[in-house]
A and B are shown apart, each in its own frame.
Chain A
Amino acid sequence: MSTGAETPPLPDEPDRLVLHARDVEFDWSSLDLHWIPGEPFATHVINVLHLLLPEGERWFVEVFKQAVPHITDEELRQQVLGFIGQEAVHAEAHAGVLDHMDAHGLDPTPYVEQIAWMFRVVLGDRDLDGRREWAWLRTRLAVIAGIEHYTAVLGQWVLDARKLDEAGADATMLDLLRWHGAEEVEHRAVAYDLFMHLDGGYPRRALAMGVAATALAVLWVRGVRFLVANDPYLRGRIGGQRPKARWALRDGRRGLIPHLSRLAGAIPEYLRRKYHPSQYGSTSQAVAYLATSPAARAAEAAEQGAHR
């Protein structure tokens, strides 16, 4: 055996991961509508994810399925297939939270129906054919690559967010967010690699990120307003006041929600010519979380049981 001087004895980051969906289940029967105790604003800032993700990730799946036949790299195809399954399970896991909100007097339908319209009509197939259909597919892949930079940033944030534990946030909700966040970090390069494989043009990538980041920012503000306005306990007011923009900065500083500067900083990061998703976030932290996550552990135990 050689001395191995040039190879580090322990890998810094696991690479070439095989992606696979985990058949997770969450029991929301004891979840409080305000699952960060005493923090309805921060709770609803994060709850916007539950409004956006089910329809958003269903759309990712549809667009990616259209891309699969064009892929000429077998390794990338395998990663894309793994990504699709993970996204499909994410969508339904968050949809379960929507049902919970609904059952507790906060019907998310008006907002989510708009999101559904955006993804299914505005960002749908648009009845194109030929050259324009193919270009529209690549444009949508660029949009997904841009959004996936955000999901990776958010995923890494929630893996690191000790303040949520200290604030007594609901353990099952934290497991959902961290399982999802960990899978986002785990598969963070796939959408970018797929876009670079099928197109790779900088103007399309930059334009798509510009539109995606702007829309995401507006949707998030509208989502918080919607949730606070329709929350049966809040009825539009927290501590007698309508939600304020500075509360987002305050709760960001307190570590209960991602800080706005981190979210804004994601744009110039992504626009760097030499950007690659692997430069941000920690795969080892993600796989370590997945190895402890109660939901992921239960899913793997059940899967293994099927092999007996």
Chain B
Amino acid sequence: MSGGYRGHVKHSSEYYARPRRPVSLTRGRGPDRFMLALERVARGIEPLTARLRPGHPIPEPEGERTVRVERVEHPAEGVAQLTLVPARPGETLPAWQPGQHVDVVLGGGVLRQYSLTGDPSDRSAYRIAVRRIPDGVGSGLVHGLREGDTIGLRGPRNAFPFTRAERYLFVAGGIGITPILPMVLSAHRAAVPARTVYTGRSRATMPFADLLPGEVSVRPDDECGPPDPAAIVEGLTPGTAVYVCGPSPLIEAVRARTPEGTPFFSERFAPAPVVDGEPFEVQLGEDGPVVPIPADESALEVMRRVRPATAYSCRQGFCGTCRLTLLSGEADHRDRPTGGSPRGEEFAPCVSRAAGGERLVLDV
């Protein structure tokens, strides 16, 4: 997590939790006529709007899109590239932009996000490329797919927005080339100056190196040594947008050396893994079900499976959306107490936990 205690905020949600009936601002006493008029308007309008009909019924949920694996290729050691086409003939896939990803629904409800790669102007198929990770569940399932298999897709969605710039610096590390490749192709086609630096362990493990047009420097560690972030950003001119995708240390190092005022883009990550977690239990309401929380999973992830409509947002303990009143039990608070959440009375299931075997009762 990024930091410790944010410090006491006076004008917190808690401070305004029980506001007095409005007192005139100019006289300092007596009722505030404007505020009381607003209350009369609301009291009058509420029953009226209850009679207004909705414009339409709430739409039925749409399932995910089904696609067929048309081709499986291996553009590098340990990398599988899938070409995905609509399962039903005649269907088209939504247009996508460089940097966008799809949610892939694999066997057993396993959901993984993979960047779309290849040429964004090709609307007939999607391409994803996945590196096999030892013991990786998602990548194992992808590598087990054969031509003709079908899978579910959601999206595309954009967590790595590709915007117009006068010039680009693209930096890819290993399989991080997948969202970068379509950016390089687009920039090249639009004749926008771009420089691409592609690092990886060895040439044999680095896919698509031969597809990158323009000014490209391919730097495998076994030939050039580990990447030197200072050299990568050397000569950055104003107006250049920097796009980086790869391992965390590479992103961090390039970000730290990118000058202030230069736009820096990196792909967003899934929430950080649980550190030092022990298994505990959460009871959803005084008389509600008890759900076990494994040592390596957040209470929020488990609660979302039980109650899919659970509200949450940042999943890192700072926004406060998922906080629930803690009715009993001893919690290990790992969130940041922003917005006037008194310590001990509320529990943030996205990051906070409890000691092994403890049961927390939450007000849901």
Contacts and interface: CB of A to CB of B under 8 A. Distances in A.
- A and B from one assembly? yes
Contacts of B155: 16, 75
Interface in A95-145: 95-96, 98-99, 102, 108-114, 116-118, 120-123, 126, 128, 131-132, 135-136, 138-139
A211 B49 CA distance: 13
A304 B269 contact: yes
A85 to B, nearest CB: 3
Contacts of A215: 38
Contact of B163 (A284, A303, A304): A284
Given A117-B20, A291-B265, A292-B264, A122 B38 contact: yes
Interface stretch (A62-70, A161-169, A252-260): A62-70
Contact of A2 (B34, B41, B60, B119): B119
B52 A135 contact: yes
B250 to A, nearest CB: 11
A201 B336 CA distance: 40
Give chain B's interface residue range (CB within 8 Å of chain A).
35 or more
A263 interface: no
Interface stretch (A6-14, A36-44, A146-154, A238-246): A6-14
A218 B34 contact: yes
A291 B263 contact: yes
Interface string B233-272: 0000000010000001101100110001111111011001
B134 interface: no
Given A82-B313, A88-B313, A292-B263, A96 B9 contact: yes
Interface residues of A, number: 104
B38 A118 contact: yes
Contact of B35 (A16, A20, A65, A114): A114
B49 A73 contact: no
B32 interface: yes
Identify which of A70, A283, A287 gathers the most chain B CB atoms within 10 Å of its CB: A287
A136 B46 contact: yes
Interface string A264-308: 000000000000000000011001100110100101111111111
Contact of B58 (A72, A75, A82): A72
Contacts of A74: 61, 154
Contacts of A68: 309, 311
Contacts of B165: 288
Nearest to B272: A306
A70 B189 CA distance: 44
Given A136-B46, A287-B265, A307-B269, 9 more contacts: A2-B124, A16-B157, A23-B316, A23-B318, A54-B13, A89-B319, A108-B11, A117-B21, A308-B252
Interface of A: 1-4, 6-7, 9-12, 14-18, 20-21, 23, 25, 54-55, 58, 61, 64-65, 68-70, 72-75, 78, 81-82, 84-86, 88-89, 91-92, 95-96, 98-99, 102, 108-114, 116-118, 120-123, 126, 128, 131-132, 135-136, 138-139, 196-204, 207, 211, 215, 218, 222, 225-226, 229, 283-284, 287-288, 291-292, 294, 297, 299-308
Give 6 closest A-B pairs by Cβ, nearest first.
Answer: A4-B121, A85-B313, A302-B2, A200-B55, A14-B161, A291-B263
